[in-house]
Structure formats: structure tokens, C-alpha cells
Amino acid sequence: MDIAIITIGDEILTGRTLDYNSHWIAKRITGLGFNVKLKLSVQDNINEIVDALNYSKNKGVELIITTGGLGPTPGDVTFEAVAKFADKRLVLDKRALEMVKERYLTLYQLGFVESPEITKSREKMAKIPEGSIPFYNPIGVAPGILLHLDSLKIISLPGVPSEMMYLLEMILPLLGSGGGVTRIRETTVLEGDESKLSRIFEKIMKEIPQVYLKSYPLGFGEVVKMRVIGIAKGSNIEEAERYLNQAFELLEMYFIRNKEKKKGFSSD
């Protein structure tokens, strides 16, 4: 399943807040066999969010995950944007409203808010695109949602990382299989010529097409190390690990055969 991740918030685009959410979601969901096709960051603006949703849809993704913009302030417009994109009404959902009421009652009893009253701004968090499934947020207040469209699913999560992580774990079991399992492994090699590594990678990936290899320089000078990342997909963990083993064995064999020129193969 191909996925797009959209992080929403002016604070991300201005650099005031680090976009930890997309990093965590990508790592978590890739490990389940899903394929993250693209990541976008946009302002708290309805039209910008709709444009990002349309762009993601046109790229052929089957799932879009958004984070941010679910709160009680006027700038929190994600639900409204999702409704506009999906051509759905924005409705006051009874289930979502009960979730918001329960959270504010709890927060009031704990002394965190002055009143449990559901004001218009608080009620706003229970207005979701028609047909969405709301998910209770026991860490914050705003519910997350899952919306099923014809060939697309949309998950909207809060921007606070702890809330986002909890709610995503609640929704993930409803998505089914991502089409297998993905495993990732890293190593470092003493090789200063990345183009040479690229040719080696091409040979290995041709022999083991289930593995993708990528390198990143770790420094410059007389001795240059390359960070090598291997990503393997399999029907289960054992199969994915077997593909990685095969690929890294081939990589190691190259350096053993060429140790007269370049010595030193080290695994992290």
C-alpha cells in the first residue's frame, strides 16, 4: 500500500517545531510493509491542505495520513479541509462529541481546566467529515479520524507527537496488511567513490530485487567511510532478513575480493 504523509502547521514551515511526526510515522509504517511514497508539509490553510490532499491522491496513494490542525482554535482547519477535499459535509458527530465531553470532564476533575463546559471552540473538535470514524484521544482531547473513500483512506491525527503515536496505533489494525514486512539494516564501508558503490549496488539489487541499497558519505579526506543502508521486503520477518543477509554477504564478498585496494569492512 502506497502512503502519503502530510504534516500541517505554520510552526513546522517556520522551523519553530521539528517535524518529528512524519519521521516517526514513516519509520513505524514502513516496518509494517507499507510504502511511503511522499511526505509534504503545509500551512494551517484550508486551500493549501486540500491542494496537498489532491496532489497525494493524483500520485496514486491508497492512504493519506495527516497530522496537526485538529484543535479548538480558528487556525485548526484540517477536518474542514478533509471534508472539502472529500466532498463531504462537516458534521457534529455524536460519538466524537461524547469523547470531547469525557476528556474535558476528566481534565476538570484533575484541575487542569476551570470548567468542563463544552464551548463552541471545544465543540469544534467534534465536527468531523461525514462518514468518518472518530477515535478517542486519552492523552489530549481532539479525536483522530479514519475516513474511507472509494479507493483512498484518510487518517487525521493530532499534531502533538504522543497523541499522534497513540491514535495511530489504535487505527493501524483496521488497515489490514501493508503487503508484507520491511526490514532495514545499516553498515559502513571504507570506500571513497560513491559511483563505484552504485555499480556494486546495481549488481546486488539485480540479483536480489527484494532489496534496495543506498549509500551516504560520512566524511571527507584521505579515509572516507560510506554509510550503507539496506531495505528488504518479504512476506514475513524471516524472509526479509534472509534477503538482507544475502545482500550484505555479497557486499562483504566484494570488499574481501578487493582488500588489496580497500581494506576494512565493518558492520554497525
Instruction: Specify the CATH number for the domain of residue 146.
Output: 3.40.980.10
Count how many domains the chain has. Answer: 2
- Mean pLDDT score of the chain, rounded to an integer? 88
pLDDT exceeds cutoff 50 at 213: yes
Which class for 25: exposed (0-12), middle (13-18), buried (19 or more C-beta within 10 A)? buried
Kindly state the percentage of the chain with pLDDT values over 90. Answer: 62
How far is the C-alpha of 6 from the C-alpha of 9, rounded, in Å? 10
- How confident is the model at residue 147, as a pLDDT? 96
Same domain, 57 and 163: yes
Higher pLDDT, 182 or 56: 56
Specify the range with the lowest mean pLDDT, choosing from 7-21, 69-83, 161-175: 161-175
Q: How confident is the model at residue 106 (pLDDT cuts 50, 70, 90)?
A: very high
Answer for the pair 21, 54: CB distance below 8 angstroms, yes or no: no
- How confident is the model at residue 252, as a pLDDT? 86
Q: What is the mean pLDDT of residues 181-200?
A: 77
Q: Residue 237: CA atoms inside 13 Å, Cβ hemisphere, count?
A: 2
How far is the C-alpha of 75 from the C-alpha of 69, rounded, in Å? 7
Instruction: Give Cα separations from 9 to 50, 67, 75, 83, 236 (angstroms).
Output: 14, 9, 9, 18, 37
Same domain, 212 and 190: yes
Q: How confident is the model at residue 168 (pLDDT cuts 50, 70, 90)?
A: very high
How far is the C-alpha of 101 from the C-alpha of 152, rounded, in Å? 30
What's the whole-model pTM score? 0.74
Of 175, 201, 230, the one marking the end of a domain is: 175
How far is the C-alpha of 253 from the C-alpha of 117, rounded, in Å? 68
pLDDT exceeds cutoff 90 at 46: yes
Q: What is the mean pLDDT of residues 75-80?
A: 97
Answer for the pair 82, 154: CB distance below 8 angstroms, yes or no: yes
Instruction: Give Cα separations from 10 to 67, 161, 214 (angstroms).
Output: 12, 16, 32
Same domain, 103 and 205: no
pLDDT exceeds cutoff 80 at 205: yes
pLDDT exceeds cutoff 60 at 221: no
Domain that holds residue 82: 2-175
Of 138, 154, 175, the one marking the end of a domain is: 175
Q: How confident is the model at residue 257 (pLDDT cuts 50, 70, 90)?
A: low
Same domain, 43 and 68: yes
Q: What is the mean pLDDT of residues 118-146?
A: 95
Q: How confident is the model at residue 238 (pLDDT cuts 50, 70, 90)?
A: confident
